[in-house]
Structure 1
């Protein structure tokens, strides 16, 4: 009985850790994310972020994505991305400053990105934002491994 109980507790602990590594954030037609900060445990080898667009407008009118970078790089990434266009998710192809990014989605859609947590260095200020033109000034927040 103790062996079975121990196995059950191990499975429950493993699933709790897996869930901590899977984050969800929402966006809407008012150019808002549902939170200004996201955290994941340092113990996560990979982090998955799911973006849900709860609005109704299509991606060419009010599209959103979720982009992870260093805080200081946001303005330049957004500026460089404007020329890339919607079909490239308003991100310059091969931009090494982008640590992770979802595609642009419209109302009622969702998308996810999974990235290795070892891409992030302790003590760095990381941020997430939407790279759709004009959105990054309002739609951003902090991302921290704890």
Structure 2
């Protein structure tokens, strides 16, 4: 490599840091048989055209006994939506047509994975958002904050 090419390459690394060249538009969250998410925060990068959110259930128990999903809602609606979701068993515990639901993954059991494509424009920067598992009894332990970044 010539000296001039090396200088251009080094200068390019300082002018365009690797982190600035790609957005974090792919998110993976794991859940388990002990009613845990591996993250208490999901970061939504609003500069992404879309975000691919993958939920992995790393446990062994089936969807009927230890099902998990991720439901996004405004923080102020979390408790009331979680209470109402327990009655929505025919809809995988996500009340159909409920405007408090911003987005939701499918309900999965141990060893399963589901992916949701999110439109970041669903999240208003002036609101606070939360996520939770709507399977009955899980939301108290399985919830977290959504942080919006540009």
TM-score when scaled to structure 1?
Answer: 0.85
2:93 corresponds in structure 1 to: 90
Runs of 4+ aligned structure 1 residues displaced above 2 Å come to 12-17
> For residues 134 and 40 of structure 1, do their structure 2 counterparts lie closer, same or farther at Cα, with a shift above 3 Å needed?
same
1:119 corresponds in structure 2 to: 122
Shift of 1:13: 8.1
1:61 corresponds in structure 2 to: 65
Kindly indicate whether residue 135 of structure 2 is the aligned counterpart of residue 129 of structure 1. no
In our comparison, the structure showing a higher alpha carbon Rg is 2
1:51 corresponds in structure 2 to: 55
State which of 114, 138, 141 in structure 2 corresponds to 1:138.
Answer: 141
Aligned Cα root-mean-square deviation (Å): 2.2
Q: What is the CA deviation profile of residues 43-84 of structure 1, one whole-angstrom value per residue up to 9, with x for unaligned ones?
A: 112122110000000010001001111111111111111111
Gaps of at least 5 residues in structure 1 are none
* Residues 101 and 113 in structure 1, CA contact (< 8 A), matched pair in contact too: yes
Question: How far, CA to CA, are the matches of 1:92 and 1:141 in structure 2?
Answer: 20
Q: What is the CA deviation profile of residues 73-118 of structure 1, one whole-angstrom value per residue up to 9, with x for unaligned ones?
A: 1111111111110x41101111111111011100000001112111
Gaps of at least 5 residues in structure 2 are none
State which of 33, 36, 51 in structure 2 corresponds to 1:32.
Answer: 36
